[in-house]
């Protein structure tokens, strides 16, 4: 049996299907999944988890579909990856997978992820429960801004100018 991901209702499946179609129309390439699924003897609404190769100018990547779609991007360096990452309006949580301590520090610094929660070498799943809530729905992105401002204030008080952007 292929991989399945449950969705809440028929409307969620339609939103998933429309997002995949829009991604392709905007120049994205489905690398895996992308289709609704049914299973004999199993009630509910299911889709294939989906991976889409995307470009940073694709509008669909800036929208929350609430479906198992992962957009992957090509980038030249970490700075460009962070720029792409921070270009979306959502800001609940983020993650980086790296073996380079400098990349980890950059991602977690005030110049890195602008999300309320930033993870290193682990997924974002589950960290949001009881933690920051982000993007337009809550306080995650604002909390990240507050944290950066606190770091700036501490740097000013300590005379350490290197933490300032």
153 and 104 within one domain: yes
pLDDT at 164 > cutoff 50? no
Q: Which of 56, 74, 92 is the last residue of a domain?
A: 74
Distant-in-sequence, close-in-space partners of 158: CB < 8 Å, separation ≥ 6: none
In terms of pTM, does the model score above 0.75? Answer: no
E-assigned strand segments in 86-141: 93-96, 117-120
89 and 161 within one domain: yes
What CA–CA distances, in Å, run from 146 to 61, 129, 160? 26, 20, 18
Rounded average pLDDT over 56-74 = 93
> CA 26, CA 28: separation in Å to the nearest integer?
6
82 and 6 within one domain: no
**H-state helical runs in 1-139:** 10-25, 78-85, 101-108
- What percent of the chain has pLDDT above 90? 58
Check if the beta carbon of residue 35 is closer than 8 Å to that of residue 46: no
Q: Which pLDDT band holds residue 42 (cuts at 50, 70, 90)?
A: confident
Q: Which of 42, 59, 74 is the last residue of a domain?
A: 74
> CA 36, CA 146: separation in Å to the nearest integer?
41
> CA 164, CA 157: separation in Å to the nearest integer?
12
Domain that holds residue 8: 1-74
Distant-in-sequence, close-in-space partners of 106: CB < 8 Å, separation ≥ 6: 78, 82, 112
Q: Which of 54, 74, 94 is the last residue of a domain?
A: 74
56 and 29 within one domain: yes
DSSP character at residue 80 = H
pLDDT at 165 > cutoff 50? no
Domain count, the chain: 2
Rounded average pLDDT over 130-142 = 47
97 and 44 within one domain: no
DSSP character at residue 147 = H
């Amino acid at each position: 049996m292929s991989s399945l991901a449950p969705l809440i209702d028929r409307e969620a499946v339609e939103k998933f299907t429309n997002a995949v179609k829009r991604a392709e129309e905007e120049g994205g390439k489905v690398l895996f999944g992308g289709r609704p699924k049914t299973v004999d003897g199993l009630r509910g609404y299911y889709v294939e988890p989906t991976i889409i190769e995307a470009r940073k100018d694709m509008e669909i990547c800036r929208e929350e579909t609430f479906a198992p779609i992962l957009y992957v991007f090509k980038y030249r360096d970490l700075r460009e990856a962070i720029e792409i990452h921070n270009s979306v309006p959502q800001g609940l949580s983020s993650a980086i997978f790296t073996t380079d301590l400098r990349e980890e520090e950059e991602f977690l610094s005030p110049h890195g992820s602008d999300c309320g929660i930033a993870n290193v070498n682990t997924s974002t799943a589950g960290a949001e429960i009881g933690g920051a809530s982000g993007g337009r729905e809550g306080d995650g992105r604002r909390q990240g801004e507050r944290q950066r401002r606190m770091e700036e204030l501490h740097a000013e008080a300590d005379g350490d100018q290197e933490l300032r952007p």
